[in-house]
Amino acid sequence: MAKKFSFPKYRDEMQKNLRTASKGSGWKQSKGIVFRQSDDWFVAGHWRNVSSRLADGLKVEILAKPMAIDPMLWETMGLESNNSKPLSFRYWGAFTCGTPVILSETITETDPEIAPQAILARLNEMLPKLFVILATKKFSEIAKNPAGIHDNWKMNETITQSLRLEQRPDLAIKFAKSAKSGMSVSKLVKDKARVGKSHNEILIDQLTTEPNQKGFLEKVLGKFIRTK
């Protein structure tokens, strides 16, 4: 009798083999996802099963966001110490902007011994298409229309900070007033004036009282962005 398919076991095998396949590939691996920094962009890739039938293949998704927007959120929250976290924190961290899925494609290879190499190969093929999109569209619009599943409040953070990065503070304020966001966590935030406020409330205060947004952006871009 054939053994019953176990998705948790399959996932664990895929993660193990993806870790091996990613070595020397230009991608790093953490908890089953791969990621890299490409110039000013954080890029990640992951896979999902297309359906409950493994024979239907795997969906390979590529995600991206500007390297600047997480440090902007952390500055808003008073959590600049997150800048010292590993690059993978930008995907897995609790207090981060969402990374939108930008492209997805399906592969037919599902064997856990071979599929990780196929996933990386497909991601490499998708990279040029990704950068064409990033170069030709405003990122705030990409974040408003992601091509895959996402966490709503995290993506709201992405949109707000993207508008700020695009130097459109009026639109950032307008969106922040209408969108949900996370609350500041008292045990992490040193500035007591921020405790109990939502990220958006703090951001609106900053945008309405901080006249030199250009100077702030230069600080973020020059000081906070990790390059390794």
Q: Is residue 2 a part of any domain in this protein?
A: no
pLDDT for the residue 222: 54
| Residue 212 pLDDT grade (very low, low, confident, very high; cuts 50, 70, 90) | low
To the nearest whole percent, how much of the chain has pLDDT over 70?
A: 86
pLDDT at 224: 47
* pLDDT number for residue 60: 97
- Asked if residue 106 has pLDDT above 90, the reply is yes
Over residues 39-63, the mean pLDDT reads 93
CB atoms closer than 10 angstroms to residue 103: 18
Check residue 227 and give its pLDDT: 43
Percentage with pLDDT > 90 across the chain: 61
pLDDT digits (tens, 9 = 90+) for 110-169: 999 999 999 999 999 999 999 999 999 999 999 999 988 888 888 999 999 999 999 899
Average of pLDDT values for 99-111? 96
pLDDT, averaged across the chain = 87
2 falls in which pLDDT band (50, 70, 90)?
A: very low
Identify the pLDDT of residue 226: 47
Least confident interval from 61-70, 157-166, 173-182:
173-182
Please indicate whether residue 206 or residue 67 has the higher confidence score (pLDDT).
67
Q: What is the mean pLDDT of residues 171-198?
A: 79
Task: Say if 175 falls within a structural domain.
Answer: yes
In a domain, 11, yes or no: yes
pLDDT at 17 over 90: yes
Q: Name the nearest CA neighbour of 149 among 82, 183, 104.
A: 104
Q: Is residue 98 part of a domain?
A: yes
Sign of the alpha-carbon dihedral angle for 200, 152, 143, 223: positive
**pLDDT value at 87 more than 60:** yes
1, part of any domain: no
In the chain, how many domains are there? 1
* pLDDT score of 198 more than 60: yes
- Which residue range(s) make up the domain with 72? 7-224
Amino acid (one-letter) located at 105: E
* Residue burial 9-36, b: 16+ Cβ < 10 Å; e: rest: eeeebbbebbbebbeebebbbbeebbbb
pLDDT of 15 reads 95
Token pair 């962009």 is found at 41
